[in-house]
Chains A and B, each alone.
Chain A
Amino acid sequence: MTAQTAQSIPLETQLPQASTIAMQTFCEDINGMLGISIGCALCQAGAASPDKLKPFFQKLAAVYSVQSEGVLSGRFDLIIDKTALFLLAGLFVLLPEDKIKEQCKQGTLEAAVKLTDTVKEIGNLIVGAWDRVYREHLPGHKHLLQTNTQITNPWEKPAEVFPIPADGLCLLTVWEMTVGDYPPFHAAAIFPAALFEPPKEEPQADQPQPTPDQPQEQPADQSAQPQPAAQDTQPAPQDTPPAPSQTADAPQTNTADQQPVWNAIQQLVHSQPAAAPLDVAILNCPAQIIMNTKPLWLSPNDSVETALQRMRQNAARYALIEEKDQMVGILSQSDINAAISPYLRTPFEEYRRPLDDASLQIRIKWFMSRPVRTITPDTPLWKVMDTMYRYQIRALPVQDAAGSVIGLITVMEIFHALLQPTAAAPTADTQSQKTD
């Protein structure tokens, strides 16, 4: 990737891609050094809170604190799960296969702590690989340094483990990794939202300089969003690099390239009716009039390849996931982009290898967003927009009193409704013809 290309891509978008290359480089390093072949595939990336990692990292994990200098200035964390901890450490010190498998299954915190030296060295190699790759793929990157290693249950006292609250906002990237016939394991990176804040103005000479390891006091989800009061006079510029775009309790995963949309919605919701160039009556239009009544449905066992094909055929950017007549998840085009190997997409496609096609076979149940927040058919448009803004999501299924999903509203349906010439509500007939 050239520097010019990279600079035109928001950092939050580059980071999961560059980090995936970095993690794959670590795997190649281990292969070169120890002759151990490790597979690595991105299985999830997006804005969420660290507690969304609970399904992947239960009870015991190794957490590496990394201090970054340069375009990313501050601390982020890398985490490997219990299986990774015992498996990689066992392979490093040449433990027999059956012993490694036993530890992966039954290893305790006490046993893991005895491996601290090895686990720390694994982190050193991971950070070294990441540093090399970031230097190549992230313009402006200077240096990564592993500053701490914790072997712990990260959910017992998350505030002591992570640089942000467990329900705070960050960019999460999760990989599934495999070694031979050992059980698969997970690794993840946790980038706090504060890392993506634009550089602050140079302080006055007599003002103390903030140090890189001082966490930001301001909650990440507030700092990442322009405040409503300021928006009447200073709307966010459209070319501002977006920040991770999901509040702490949002159940759905969104990618970071959505910020301008949130800004627009926020402005619309919070602007004075008299100042809005719209007929405000449209804001009371119920969801059932605006919704798309024929959303795309997929099965949780469908592959990424199938999902891509069906979404393309239906010109849909969202799909609802159904199992046994129940909606169990929602999938966005952005979720898919984050799940597939970055080598399948620009700007990395020139490096595409046969192995990268394997990511097309990932089942969507592994990365779909769930649980799904819904609205009722009579929810007014303003409430729909407010819900989307509040929870930083761009699609809301419409569920009737019996619990059946009867439609889907995305930001595109909303724009369509708002942009009607008379600002009158579109008819159900026109809505049923289109998909998002």
Chain B
Amino acid sequence: MPKSLMIVDDSATMRKIIMRTVRMSGLEFDRTEEAGNGVEAIEKLKTAPVDIVLCDINMPEMSGTEMVKQARQLPNCKDTKIIMVSTESSQELIDSILADGANGYITKPFTPERFQEKLAPFMS
């Protein structure tokens, strides 16, 4: 079944590295989107929802945590799987983000295997 992916990170370099690593993991998406912060991501999701969002936490304009909260209010994003990708590794923070509606958490540094492990369950 075709799937779509959005990568949300304020660093263009990191968006490219994530994209490269996702491809290396063997996962295939028919459509990929990018956004530089939470505001931009929400605007794109309103008009063109995706199946999976990989989202950074510390971003200008709108943080990843706030983006999760707002995305969950969008009618067309109720089934979107949102996976946070961040260097933040505090268990307290991870628990809080999952409670806010995120579906998973990947700590940087990531590997292709890590993306495979976390995203594959949402690909079927």
Contact = CB atoms under 8 A, between A and B. Distances in A.
Given A120-B11, A124-B14, 17 more contacts: A30-B109, A32-B109, A32-B111, A33-B111, A92-B13, A118-B13, A124-B11, A125-B87, A125-B108, A125-B109, A127-B87, A128-B88, A128-B107, A128-B109, A129-B109, A131-B89, A143-B90
Contact of A29 (B12, B14, B17, B109): B109
B29 interface: no
B111 A121 contact: no
B87 A124 contact: yes
Interface in A123-165: 124-125, 127-129, 131-132, 135, 143, 145
A356 B16 CA distance: 34
Contact of A131 (B12, B17, B87): B87
Given A128-B87, A128-B89, A33 B11 contact: no
25 contacts: A29-B108, A32-B109, A32-B111, A33-B111, A34-B17, A92-B17, A93-B13, A117-B12, A117-B13, A118-B11, A118-B13, A121-B11, A121-B13, A121-B14, A124-B11, A124-B14, A124-B108, A125-B108, A128-B86, A128-B87, A128-B107, A128-B108, A131-B90, A132-B89, A135-B90
A15 to B, nearest CB: 20
Interface of A: 29-30, 32-34, 92-93, 117-118, 120-121, 124-125, 127-129, 131-132, 135, 143, 145
Interface string B12-53: 111011000100000000000000000000000000000000
Interface in B1-18: 11-14, 16-17
A421 B14 CA distance: 70
The residue in B11, B16, B21, B90 that gathers the most chain A C-beta atoms within 10 A of its C-beta is B11
Contacts of B13: 92-93, 117-118, 121
The size class of the interface chain B forms with chain A is 10 to 19
Contacts of B21: 33
Nearest to B90: A143
B90 to A, nearest CB: 6
Contacts of A128: 86-89, 107-109
Interface string B66-102: 0000000000000000000011111000000000000
A128 B14 CA distance: 14
Contact of A33 (B58, B88, B108): B108
Contacts of A30: 109
A33 B90 contact: no
A143 B107 CA distance: 15
Nearest to B9: A121
Contacts of B90: 131, 135, 143
Contacts of A145: 58
A29 B11 CA distance: 18
A33 B87 contact: no
Nearest to A124: B87
A34 B112 CA distance: 10
Given A120-B11, A121-B11, A125-B108, A33 B17 contact: yes
A117 B12 CA distance: 7
A143 to B, nearest CB: 6
B35 to A, nearest CB: 15
A33 B16 contact: no
B85 to A, nearest CB: 11
A218 to B, nearest CB: 32
A32 B90 CA distance: 21
Contacts of A32: 109, 111
B110 A33 contact: yes
A135 B87 CA distance: 13
| 8 residue pairs, one from A and one from B, having the closest CB atoms | A128-B87, A29-B109, A33-B109, A118-B13, A121-B11, A121-B14, A121-B13, A132-B89
Nearest to B21: A33
Nearest to A128: B87
Contacts of A135: 89-90
Nearest to A121: B11
A29 to B, nearest CB: 4
Nearest to A34: B17
A143 B57 CA distance: 15
Contacts of B16: 93
Nearest to A30: B109
Interface in B97-124: 107-111
Residue among B11, B13, B58, B107 having the largest count of chain A Cβ atoms under 10 Å: B13
